[in-house]
Structure 1
Amino acid sequence: MAEQLARDSQYAATVLKTLSNIQRSDALSKIRSGLIKAKDEIICANRLDLELANQSHISSSLIKRLDLSKNGKFDSMCDGIMDVARLEDPLNKITLATELDEGLNLYRVTCPVGVLLIIFESRPEVIANITALAIKSGNAAILKGGKESLNTFKAMAKVINHVLEIETDVPKNAIQLIATRGEVSDLLNQDTYIDLVIPRGSNQLVRSIKDNTKIPVLGHANGICSIYIDEFADIEGKAKRIIVDAKTNYPAGCNAVETLLINEKLLGTEAYKSILESLVSNEVTCHMAPELLRDLPSSLKDKYSKLFVEATERDFHHEFLSLDIAIKTVSDVKQAVEHINRHSSKHTDAIITENEENANIFLNGVDSSGVYWNCSTRFADGFRYGFGTEVGISTNKIHARGPVGLEGLVCYYYQLRGNGQIVGDYLGGGGKKAFIHKHLDTRGMRLK
């Protein structure tokens, strides 16, 4: 069963990559229309998932991710499909061109990765996001949603499968949706046919997949993001707004800040008190390093006593995904960099400072997929980067890194176009001819 499903996906991928950008983008337009027409049915299925989730006492952060009806999420999901459709075609771009000899030209050309296996938890809009990115980039995809979103998943899958089979030129097996965990286990063994696994979910999910497959895995296990407030930070104009946004805008997001590092020179100042007050006044529980909790300003301690707790070492390795943040002091920017590189998950980290030298030490020193200066970590997102949407955020150092959009779902191959040449005529192969190796301008070049 799993092998046949993977084989079908591989064959579909070989057809899908030959379709024109117009054919692929038109398919996305029709998927969007199909989802909009079925909105009531999909939202009804989503409500059922929410009811079951509440009955099962699932965490509030997962329920927020699951809900498709709040804050225009459904409409944004559908608009995101067209954002992807309107992006430049990522395929058949020539990224290198070399004239090896007269009439013998080498080209490096972008192409799809092949077959993607995407496993995700809770967030049903991922189905639309990944379907759009996969089709636009010419990749076949096998999608497995979490049990929490099973009813929503089925409703959306029904629409997508119908549209692809009846209304588009995309092969019907280009997007396949599966529902059981057993199928995933079997698919993780199909390294002959599946080219890349992309897990989106908990640390446990990602670790489990990495431990049980030979297929390359792209993803991140945790989003332990940190913000460092430098001694030269603009506290009132920038620092407070950034910290509150990074923590409270969407606490369940993997790009929400989890650790706050404060330069020790700010201790005892009104700026320090103001930073803490900006958090607790927004109902954020501050997990304070023991020495900070002991010296907490009395006015804050009296008014917000329940929102200040003692931090453990684990808190600085922890993704809260809630209105909680771990706080400690560091002596300078270099110690902040050292702390982050020891504790972070290499997702996204930021410095708040007006000192450019310190900013550059931080930007160059932190080993994460996103490193920011004077802005919120919540900007780590494919839509905000202009990618249309994202298939996930990668903390890998090979292939794609950071929010993975279309460019992260293509690789390349080499085309050599000749006119009867053989290696035996050239130096190193038995002949006397020398290679020219003349680099050609690739600007605007694309294979037809």
Structure 2
Amino acid sequence: MEIREEVRKMKRVAPQVASSTLEQRNHVLKLIGESLERHKEEIFAANRKDLERADAEQVAPAIRKRLKFSEEKLADVEKGIRLLISLPDPIHRETLVRELDEGLLLKRVTCPIGVIGVIFEARPDALVQISSLCIKSGNCAVLKGGRETAETNRVLFRVIHEAAVAGGLPEYCMIQAEQHNEIDELLDCDDCVDLLIPRGSNRFVRYIMDHTKIPVMGHADGICHIYVDKDADFEKAIPIIIDAKTQYTAACNAVETLLVNRSIAPAFLPKLAKALRREGVEIRGTKEVTSMIGGETIGEDQFREYLDLIVSVKLVNNLEEAVDHINRFGSHHTDCIITENDETAERFMELVDSAGVYQNCSTRFADGFRYGFGAEVGISTGKIHARGPVGLDGLVTYKYKLYGHGQIVGDYASGKKEFHFRDIVS
């Protein structure tokens, strides 16, 4: 069956999912957690097949690391599911109650977006996170994972889907697209898909944006920066940088560019270079930097997202120069300042135009689970609807409900009646 027919069926059942109770959705999440644990050996066996194929195809180490679904990854997604269950209901919340006139009551109420298509990179845990978030927020999900994890994703989807149906959700609360050509079919479903969330390379995300009429939420690059200010504590700075670069190199929130205040460079750079090289990190920088600590000399227009043990380094005169570089060359994802001067930090946070701005901590904190969202469907660098790690709040919209007793607009247009707006605090 064509993906369009599948999605049309999903669109018809979306209102049923949207009207489900919090108790029902939490029950489904509980069943999913139990089912993942019960079927874990089957999941691990499928994952070994994906890893073996990756080895045969000589997949890059950074990508291969994402493919692995281990006991640790399983424990993480199970923890995320438990956190989701503990969170309040993101839908059916009244965010405005206003009396327009006597007997005419307006309410603004949160509701699911509807049908969400998520096209994600080669990370099996992403399928679990996305499915769980969509269920908790009352959305239907079309899931398309990377071919590198086809075996793992197939088993994970079956386990999750069976649990969802057993918990009372309709069969078409989620569907899986497996063929590459189904992506283009999905992009053409603007009459029944409400939102697309692509997760992948810059080129891939741009392709999605350029070939669909469906609203797209997400980010293309993860060019994250750390600016080491003249008032930085070196003892804090180096562990933060090491964590941001090496804790999970293939992540979009790993730091890719370091900006160092020129006044501290002679004292700081040699210590930083020693620490980076001890962790196997290759340094690339401007001529001024490499003349001090070695490494490959490149221009700042060559700084990019590496997703590898490589980092770009540049010296700047002051905060303003650092901010200018970040806003010009960054991807508006997550950027950090290391300084003991809180006034400087606040100015950095105000001026940097990114979804996440940090002081004295690793950029790797940019994550839905670490923000207490349970998980995330992705990170958005846009400014409309959702920004930063997208958890439950980013998967809901709202509708207005107006309760009347026979009122007509003509009475207000003629002056027979008048509005007397009064907000009611619930």
Q: TM-score range by the shorter chain?
A: over 0.9
1:86-140 per-residue CA deviation (whole Å, 9 max, x = no partner) reads 2110011111111101111101100000100000111011111111100110100
Match of residue 221 from structure 1: 220
Aligned 1:186-201 pairs, distance under 5 A: 186-201=185-200
Report how many aligned residue pairs link the two structures: 425
Q: What secondary structure is seen at the aligned counterpart in 2 of 1:228?
A: strand
Stretch deviating more after TM superposition (75-84 or 207-216): 75-84
User: How far has the Cα of 1:314 moved from its partner?
Assistant: 4.2
TM-score normalised to structure 1 length: 0.93
1:215-235 per-residue CA deviation (whole Å, 9 max, x = no partner) reads 011111110000000000011
Aligned 1:105-120 pairs, distance under 5 A: 105-120=105-120
Aligned 1:4-19 pairs, distance under 5 A: 4-19=5-20
Match of residue 422 from structure 2: 438
User: How far has the Cα of 1:431 moved from its partner?
Assistant: 3.5
Match of residue 20 from structure 1: 21
Q: Give the residue type in structure 1 aligned to 2:170.
A: P
Match of residue 177 from structure 2: 178
Match of residue 260 from structure 2: 262
Q: How much identity, in percent, do the aligned residues show?
A: 47
Match of residue 53 from structure 2: 52
1:236-282 per-residue CA deviation (whole Å, 9 max, x = no partner) reads 1x11111111011111111000000000001322x332122221121
Match of residue 398 from structure 1: 384
Q: What secondary structure is seen at the aligned counterpart in 1 of 2:171?
A: coil
How far apart in 2 are the matches of 1:89 and 1:132? 13
User: How far has the Cα of 1:162 moved from its partner?
Assistant: 2.1
How far apart in 1 are the matches of 2:39 and 2:204? 31
Q: Give the residue type in structure 1 aligned to 2:97.
A: A
Whether the 8 Å contact between 1:98 and 1:438 is mirrored in structure 2 is: yes
Whether the 8 Å contact between 2:300 and 2:314 is mirrored in structure 1 is: no
How far apart in 1 are the matches of 2:27 and 2:182? 31
2:310 counterpart of 1:292:
no
Match of residue 339 from structure 2: 353
Aligned 1:298-317 pairs, distance under 5 A: 308-316=295-303
User: How far has the Cα of 1:326 moved from its partner?
Assistant: 0.0
How far apart in 2 are the matches of 1:52 and 1:3? 30
RMSD: 1.2
How far apart in 1 are the matches of 2:272 and 2:300? 22
- Which 4+ stretches in 1 moved above 4 angstroms? none
Query: Which of the numbers 325, 328, 348 marks the counterpart of 1:342?
Result: 328
User: How far has the Cα of 1:434 moved from its partner?
Assistant: 1.1
Q: Give the residue type in structure 2 aligned to 1:385.
A: Y
How far apart in 2 are the matches of 1:175 and 1:29? 17
How far apart in 2 are the matches of 1:164 and 1:21? 14
Query: Which of the numbers 241, 247, 263 marks the counterpart of 1:243?
Result: 241
Whether the 8 Å contact between 1:78 and 1:128 is mirrored in structure 2 is: no
Whether the 8 Å contact between 1:219 and 1:393 is mirrored in structure 2 is: yes
How far apart in 2 are the matches of 1:158 and 1:345? 36
Whether the 8 Å contact between 2:226 and 2:255 is mirrored in structure 1 is: yes
How far apart in 2 are the matches of 1:212 and 1:369? 25
Whether the 8 Å contact between 1:203 and 1:222 is mirrored in structure 2 is: yes
Q: Give the residue type in structure 1 aligned to 2:185.
A: D
How far apart in 2 are the matches of 1:288 and 1:142? 42
Q: What secondary structure is seen at the aligned counterpart in 1 of 2:398?
A: strand
Match of residue 304 from structure 1: none
How far apart in 2 are the matches of 1:155 and 1:63? 19
Q: Give the residue type in structure 1 aligned to 2:113.
A: V
Stretch deviating more after TM superposition (1-10 or 242-251): 1-10
How far apart in 2 are the matches of 1:389 and 1:2? 27
Q: Give the residue type in structure 2 aligned to 1:290.
A: K
Q: What secondary structure is seen at the aligned counterpart in 2 of 1:265?
A: coil
Aligned 1:57-68 pairs, distance under 5 A: 57-68=58-69
How far apart in 1 are the matches of 2:240 and 2:335? 12
Stretch deviating more after TM superposition (219-228 or 54-63): 54-63
Query: Which of the numbers 287, 300, 318 marks the counterpart of 1:332?
Result: 318
User: How far has the Cα of 1:319 moved from its partner?
Assistant: 0.7
How far apart in 1 are the matches of 2:307 and 2:299? 17
Q: Give the residue type in structure 2 aligned to 1:204.
A: R
Q: Give the residue type in structure 2 aligned to 1:118.
A: V
Q: Give the residue type in structure 2 aligned to 1:431.
A: G
How far apart in 1 are the matches of 2:302 and 2:425? 52
Q: Give the residue type in structure 1 aligned to 2:280.
A: E
Match of residue 95 from structure 2: 95
1:130-160 per-residue CA deviation (whole Å, 9 max, x = no partner) reads 1110011010000001000000011112212
Whether the 8 Å contact between 1:227 and 1:350 is mirrored in structure 2 is: yes
Aligned 1:197-212 pairs, distance under 5 A: 197-212=196-211
Match of residue 446 from structure 1: none
Whether the 8 Å contact between 1:264 and 1:329 is mirrored in structure 2 is: yes
Q: Give the residue type in structure 2 aligned to 1:310.
A: T
Unmatched 5+ stretches in structure 1:
302-307, 443-448
1:136-193 per-residue CA deviation (whole Å, 9 max, x = no partner) reads 101000000100000001111221222223x111111011111001111111111010
Match of residue 272 from structure 2: 275
How far apart in 2 are the matches of 1:348 and 1:267? 23
How far apart in 1 are the matches of 2:318 and 2:416? 62
How far apart in 2 are the matches of 1:379 and 1:262? 21
Q: What secondary structure is seen at the aligned counterpart in 2 of 1:128?
A: helix
Q: What secondary structure is seen at the aligned counterpart in 1 of 2:269?
A: helix
Whether the 8 Å contact between 1:394 and 1:400 is mirrored in structure 2 is: yes
Whether the 8 Å contact between 2:3 and 2:177 is mirrored in structure 1 is: no
Q: What secondary structure is seen at the aligned counterpart in 2 of 1:173?
A: helix
User: How far has the Cα of 1:310 moved from its partner?
Assistant: 1.6
How far apart in 2 are the matches of 1:294 and 1:159? 56
2:362 counterpart of 1:362:
no
